[in-house]
A and B are shown apart, each in its own frame.
Chain A
């Protein structure tokens, strides 16, 4: 099919194609089928298995990552669409052994049971704090509704978020 765009980066025929993604401040160049979601590329192609696959339909939020600082469902976008973006996964939050404040608060409040939804809950919280929708427990619940916890750890998740929201910014 004819295209007016630069075919080296902007057009990918069916089959395996080369792709460069910037994830957690590092560039990854790898081969991938255009059908692969960002979620599957992270987990299967790049070994970044901290991002979890729950429903694979955008309903549970376990795959939440940040793209250019905004929270999104990694299962609902194709990897090939995310070139030139800055992607942050749960692996990119800590600085060496220094946990991100949201990670530390989740541990302090025991804001999980099985832990499967936790990377998504934490990534969503990082964005939520930036968005500022933490004025009340109700507001937090509404703005975290895209992240489901089948263990029902919601009270502790809300408590962890409230604690961080009340901390002065470092």
Chain B
């Protein structure tokens, strides 16, 4: 590990100024991700700006939505009864991520900034465009059964590891940041960058720009929501495929007024299945309409040599998640 200067920031402006002043600076909160990259030589910040003392840990339920401070811990958000009641998909996604130890320190802001990764990214003897742009992608011809079935490029086929991000896509979350250029509110579906041009850069955040909070607007569909995660082992594993879905039913015959269907583990970012959502609109949630949504969700999938199994897996995960939300025969 390369030497670094350590600074504990006392307020948000100081943290941003300290990081912005040093091209090699990195923020640290839970450290559960950065510490590993530093040990492996994948990231070598010259300055580590510790933001844990900043007043960004709030979890506040307003009438117009839920506000989560960037430093709210995954475990604390998941355990809040009002969060679980208002947006079950959020609590479920958080509790299905990582381990209890990591959830106790992992933060809402840090979780969203996890890097897309694959085994070749972690093993430095292999070429990886994310580690060294232009080096090549070892996964393209190598082992890639865990990799993307949507949005891949010949630069990178890794998938985003966050469960939380998938839930926040389904909840239309807004990411609030403060950076050298001021404040920004970024809809979460504008946060992540496609790997084609800049595989080493995963988000639109500028250097020194800090996530300060996440706002989930109140929406009628949030209360009827669910997160389904399919893994190769029962617990403490990334998703092969996951589904975050929210449904609002309305009218005397319970037709779908609004729907969100978002897939995780399939792309460089959570992948919103708009065709599946459209397939459900104005229809009752029946086995037939749910099957149609499942088929629509994977219609444009482009599997690689070794991960075609993810396509029917995603389809069936969508069907199961929607059925859990109250599908009827």
Query: A residues bordering B, Cβ < 8 Å?
Result: 1-5, 9-15, 17, 33-35, 37, 56-58, 61, 64, 70-73, 75-78, 80-81, 124, 127-128, 131, 133, 141-147
A1 contacts B7, C-beta separation under 8 Å:
yes
B36 contacts A57, C-beta separation under 8 Å:
yes
A145 contacts B102, C-beta separation under 8 Å:
no
> Contacts A1-B22, A10-B7, A10-B10 hold; do A146 and B102 have CB atoms under 8 A apart?
yes
Q: How many Cβ-Cβ contacts under 8 Å join chain A to chain B?
A: 120
B1 contacts A35, C-beta separation under 8 Å:
yes
Bound form: Cα–Cα A147–B5 in Å: 32
> Contacts A58-B101, A71-B101, A146-B236 hold; do A11 and B7 have CB atoms under 8 A apart?
yes
Pick from A13, A35, A76: contact of B102, CB under 8 Å: A76
Known: A5-B14, A78-B31; 15 extra A-B contacts, CB below 8 A, are A3-B7, A3-B18, A11-B8, A12-B7, A14-B5, A35-B4, A58-B32, A58-B99, A58-B102, A72-B105, A145-B234, A145-B236, A146-B98, A146-B100, A146-B101
Query: Is B52 an interface position by the 8 A CB rule?
Result: yes
- Chain B interface main SS type: mixed
Query: Is B184 an interface position by the 8 A CB rule?
Result: no
A78 contacts B8, C-beta separation under 8 Å:
no
Query: Is B48 an interface position by the 8 A CB rule?
Result: yes
Residue of A nearest to B122 (CB): A57
For chain B, the count of residues having a C-beta within 8 Å of the partner chain is: 38
A77 contacts B100, C-beta separation under 8 Å:
no
B100 contacts A4, C-beta separation under 8 Å:
no
Query: Is B9 an interface position by the 8 A CB rule?
Result: yes
Chain A residues, CB < 8 A from B28? 81
Bound form: Cα–Cα A71–B39 in Å: 22
Residue of A nearest to B79 (CB): A131
Contact with A along B85-127 (1 / 0, CB 8 A): 0000000000000111110110000000000000000000000
